[in-house]
């Protein structure tokens, strides 16, 4: 459904069809999530975790527990101005997924 040349992906905006398979898959899954119970993928989507316990999702207080370790030092280069970690998922969303979703709110009515 998310392949660039797939006829079923014709609903994807042109700029999204030119993006990587990972981004197209993300957009497709977000669209299916927005469709809710009407989505053929609803049973699968209900099985996905609601949150993840990865470093990019840790709070500042949790990250501060790593202070003095090589991990904390390594993560220093991956923080934004507020000190929050900028992980790959956030970068991809901010630079690719988010702009497409915001430009086409009729396709992704609920981006929460």
Q: How far is residue 55's CA from residue 37's CA, in Å, rounded to a whole number?
A: 32
Residue 81 has pLDDT above 60, yes or no: yes
**Token pair in block for residue 32:** 């299916």
Q: How far is residue 81's CA from residue 83's CA, in Å, rounded to a whole number?
A: 5
Q: What is the phi/psi pair of residue 88, to 5°? A: -60, -40
Q: How far is residue 92's CA from residue 43's CA, in Å, rounded to a whole number?
A: 26
Q: Give residues with Cβ within 8 angstroms of 28, minimum separation 6.
A: 1, 2, 9, 12
| Mean model confidence pLDDT for the chain | 85
Indicate the pLDDT class of residue 48, thresholds 50, 70 and 90. Answer: very high
3-state secondary structure of 79: strand
Q: How far is residue 36's CA from residue 109's CA, in Å, rounded to a whole number?
A: 11
Per-residue model confidence (pLDDT) at position 112: 55
- Model confidence, pTM: 0.71
- What's the mean pLDDT in 67-96? 82
- Asked if 31 and 107 count as a contact pair (C-beta separation under 8 A), the reply is yes
User: What percent of the chain is predicted at pLDDT more than 70?
Assistant: 94
Indicate the pLDDT class of residue 105, thresholds 50, 70 and 90. Answer: very high
């Amino acid at each position: 459904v998310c392949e660039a040349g797939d006829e079923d992906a014709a609903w994807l905006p042109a700029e999204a069809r030119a993006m990587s398979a990972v981004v197209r898959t993300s957009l497709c899954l977000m669209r299916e999530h927005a469709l809710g119970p009407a989505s053929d993928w609803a049973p699968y989507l209900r099985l996905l975790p609601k949150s993840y316990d990865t470093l990019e999702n840790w709070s500042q207080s949790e990250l501060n527990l790593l202070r003095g370790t090589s991990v904390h030092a390594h993560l220093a280069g991956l923080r934004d101005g507020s000190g929050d970690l900028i992980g790959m998922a956030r970068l991809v969303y901010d630079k690719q997924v988010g702009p497409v979703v915001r430009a086409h709110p009729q396709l992704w009515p609920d981006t929460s």
